[in-house]
Amino acid sequence: MNDLIEFDETQGLFHLHNQQISYLMAIEDFGLLSHLYFGPAVAQYHGQRRYPRRDRGFSGNLPGAEDRRFSPDTLPQEFSSSGAGDYRIPAAEIYQANGSKATDFVYQGYQILAGKPQLPGLPATFVQDQAEAATLVITLVDSVSQVALDLSYTIYRQRPIITRAVLVRNQGQTPVRLNKIASVQLDFPATDLEVISLPGAHVRERQVQREKIGYGVKSFASRRGATSHQMSNFISLVTPATTENQGAAYGIELVYSGNHALELEKDQLGQLRLVAGINQADFSWQLAPAEQFQTPEVILAYSDQGLNGLSQAYHHLLKERLVRSSWQNRPRPILVNNWEATYFDFDEAKLRPIVDQAAELGLEMFVLDDGWFGHRDNDRSSLGDWVVDQRKFPQGLTHFTNYVHQKGLKFGLWFEPEMISRDSALYRAHPDYLLAAPDRQPAPSRDQFVLDLGRADVRENIYQQMAAILATGQIDYVKWDMNRHFADLFSSALPADRQGEVSHRYMLGLYALLERLTQNFPQILWEGCSGGGGRFDAGMAYYMPQIWTSDNTDAVARLAIQWGTSLVYPPSMMTAHVSAVPNHQTGRTTSMALRGDVAMSGMFGYELDLTKLTPTEKQVVKAQIATNQQYRALVQQGDFYRLSAPETLAGCAWAFVAADRSEMLAFAFSELSQAQPVFQLIKFVGLDPQRQYQDQATQQVYGGDELMNLGLYRPVASGDFQSWRYHFRAL
């Protein structure tokens, strides 16, 4: 027993609770584990809410049941089998040697552990001391196949968070094949919950979509081998009345970077089932006797303070108990990246003036993007050959990195370690290193192919190549890119009946490689990237504190992208750059001021040819750098609040509030200006209503309650694409 987890033996009830949330389960007839409740805390559960019994036509019973009113097809459950009378989406599908996939998982026992065990080989949230969380492991067993499921639930003491994962153990005498194994199932009583998801596309990631949930099945998924730009692996379930600051909001977030599916089913009785985990499309896994399979972790959160409350819960958890980098709380260097400045057309002589200019303007890091290795003058060659191109750097890379360092700048370098070009020495030496089906041409995408990272020898090759460069000690930052999705799921290293394992083995291989590199080079600031935000997820955040949010650097488009991303990920994870106008993705021209304010709302940098700036623009850049240096700790470590959504008449606004509520930096943005403008209020959130705050620009003093309840009228925009900054300090 533990003060966070109780088991009532007489009633067969499990209660996980802290000051904020409760999670309740019960052992039912036949050992089924039912889900009773997840939501605001109840101090003590007296056992009165049990699932009512009723005979429902065509919802059958369990073998040997006398009571026709008890059906696995209607009971809210913790982890449903398939082929045992529950017709809703199953959480597990396990084929046995005889071809049957029927399983009937029943309660066998439980264990309560202090703290939270880590998941072998997988990213996961952690604890710093054993008292801050407790873990309940409930074991279910299918008596025929002797497959056991260890369902683990960790509750954090101070957070409205429960993490879950499942360990499958084959205790039988014959192999089984996992066809589906979810990380979580969560059943809700009849409900009018709505779902918020984050669909998108390349250069248009994580756009907020909110919809009613109708009868039937709805799935938010990726089978692209990566989290994807197209559908994030997070959803929120909210009541129709939930707003940014009020109402109930549940969050479901996978700690995984590969194929995922978050499935919802509203059943015949209006009850809602959620099942989430590795996408069963392109997945199967052989489990020999005595073998185990660990699912990825899922983070469940609940807030009764609307979506901002939910986001705060995730932001704090990810910043404090997922990201492990030594850079998590250190000021991130203001960088200039040469991608949009030069693309592939550069050499040391052409880059030096950009470096000179960066130093003169006060930037802190120069990042050399794609094109420095092999003979890569375009995107058709050299991936896999992590050797500097002597044509571009005749005196070697170190000659250039020395130059950058002598200018007082840090040096960052781009890699795309998971990929191979056919035009590469690596491909010529190891044509079998890429994923490709026998006798078929693998499908190119950006003219590149995916390395089989499930293979230890492939990982070793890439590790050695990268380590040789990183070990020079010249590299302060690495941008880890990944620019295509999987198509040819076949590994030359696996037998025919294991080809369904390729995608997940790839992820395990990727995580192993990332672990080795980030642990062996912990001083490096690692940034994730996948054609922008194609793999923006909690799995990658375990290794890398920041991720390139989108290849779309247009400030206006970025408002919606950063807004949507912030639903679950903190600004400390989002990198954002000021780029040239007309913008390379949208063709739009916006002011330096707007571009600066949007980029400063994340981890800040530039992505343009600094030598082409006008004298006035250079002054603006200098001022922006000073401003960012003043505010970056607040942006990185403060609490982020969404105030008003992009693409609304009022216009986008958001704020960063210090943990002790002594300071607030807020931004308001306007998109298209109006001829007969409606006066719009901006109401701030997260301040202390008892304290007085001084506007640092006007010296005007306001009560925290005034700023939050009365708000201020926003300035009226004259002209499109404007932004305003507010900075208040408590007196």
Q: Which of residues 482-511 bind ligand DGJ (CB under 6 A)?
A: 483
User: In angstroms, what is the minimal distance from the CB of 558 to ligand DGJ?
Assistant: 14
Long-range CB pairs of 422-428 (<8 Å, 24+ gap) are 422/447, 422/449, 423/380, 423/381, 423/382, 424/374, 424/381, 424/382, 424/383, 424/384, 424/385, 425/374, 425/384, 425/385, 426/384, 426/385, 426/461, 427/384
Verify cis geometry, omega within 30 degrees of 0, for the bond prior to 582: yes
Q: Which amino acid is at 179?
A: N
User: In angstroms, what is the minimal distance from the CB of 545 to ligand DGJ?
Assistant: 17
Separation between Cα atoms, residue 168 and residue 142, nearest integer Å:
11
User: In angstroms, what is the minimal distance from the CB of 208 to ligand DGJ?
Assistant: 22
The reply to whether 488 belongs to the active site is: no
Residue, CB closest to ligand DGJ: 370
Residue 703: other Cβ atoms inside 10 A? 16
| From 481, 537, 554, 639, active-site residue | 481
Window of 524-532, 538-546, 618-626, 643-651 that interacts with ligand DGJ by CB under 6 A: 524-532
Residues contacting residue 57 through CB under 8 Å, at least 6 positions apart: none
Rank residues 339 and 486 by Cβ distance to ligand DGJ and give the closer one. 339
User: In angstroms, what is the minimal distance from the CB of 572 to ligand DGJ?
Assistant: 19
Window of 140-148, 529-537, 635-643, 662-670 that interacts with ligand DGJ by CB under 6 A: 529-537
- Residue 370 sits in the site that holds ligand DGJ (CB under 6 A): yes
- Residue 414 sits in the site that holds ligand DGJ (CB under 6 A): yes
Among 14, 79, 156, 548, binds ligand DGJ (CB under 6 A): 548
- Residue 339 sits in the site that holds ligand DGJ (CB under 6 A): yes
- Residue 369 sits in the site that holds ligand DGJ (CB under 6 A): yes
User: In angstroms, what is the minimal distance from the CB of 237 to ligand DGJ?
Assistant: 31
Separation between Cα atoms, residue 11 and residue 7, nearest integer Å:
9
348: phi then psi, degrees, rounded to nearest 5: -55, -40
User: In angstroms, what is the minimal distance from the CB of 532 to ligand DGJ?
Assistant: 5
| From 73, 282, 476, 551, active-site residue | 551
- Sign of the torsion formed by the C-alpha atoms of 199, 200, 206 and 212: negative
Separation between Cα atoms, residue 222 and residue 283, nearest integer Å:
12
Among 531, 545, 564, 638, binds ligand DGJ (CB under 6 A): 531
Residue pair 306/315 in contact (Cβ under 8 Å)? The answer is no
- Residue 532 sits in the site that holds ligand DGJ (CB under 6 A): yes
Window of 188-196, 317-325, 527-535, 646-654 that interacts with ligand DGJ by CB under 6 A: 527-535
Q: Which amino acid is at 15?
A: H
Separation between Cα atoms, residue 536 and residue 532, nearest integer Å:
8
Output the 3-class SS for 436-467: CCCCCCCCCECCEEEECCCCHHHHHHHHHHHH
Number of residues that bind ligand DGJ (CB under 6 A): 11
The reply to whether 304 belongs to the active site is: no
User: In angstroms, what is the minimal distance from the CB of 701 to ligand DGJ?
Assistant: 44
User: In angstroms, what is the minimal distance from the CB of 530 to ligand DGJ?
Assistant: 7
Among 4, 136, 231, 529, binds ligand DGJ (CB under 6 A): 529
Rank residues 507 and 529 by Cβ distance to ligand DGJ and give the closer one. 529
The token duo for 434 is 């890429």
Where in 594-638 does DSSP place strands (E)? Answer: 603-607
Interaction pattern, residues 551-590, with ligand DGJ; x per rule: CB under 6 A = x---------------------------------------
Cα 11 from chain centre = 38
Burial class (CB in 10 A: 0-12, 13-18, 19+), 660: exposed
Rank residues 532 and 545 by Cβ distance to ligand DGJ and give the closer one. 532
Question: Catalytic residue numbers?
Answer: 481, 551
Footprint of ligand DGJ (CB under 6 A)? 339, 369-370, 414, 481, 483, 529, 531-532, 548, 551
